[in-house]
Amino acid sequence: MPTKSVVVGSAVGLHARPAAIISEAAAELDHEVLIGIPGDEAVAASSALLIMTLGAGKGATVEISGDDQAAVDAIAALVEKDLDA
């Protein structure tokens, strides 16, 4: 399973707006993508509510995983951006 570690780029972390943008993008993919804090259980990247439960703030490292490398890379790229800018 492809996995990528990335640093959260949004100033507010993975809170409401960034979580919504990420979940909408993940829901449009043909493959399930998971996001989680290393060492904790990952959650579906297609759920904004579950993403917010991670409590990942700006600068936190999260792991993105899934069955498809391109899908993992797409979500990882969003997590790294400041989606509140």
Coil/strand/helix, residue 50: helix
Q: Which two tokens stand for residue 14?
A: 């993975």
Which residues are catalytic, by number?
A: 15
Q: Give me the helix-helix angle, 16-27 and 69-80, nearest 10°.
A: 160
Cα separation, 80 vs 54, in Å, equals 16
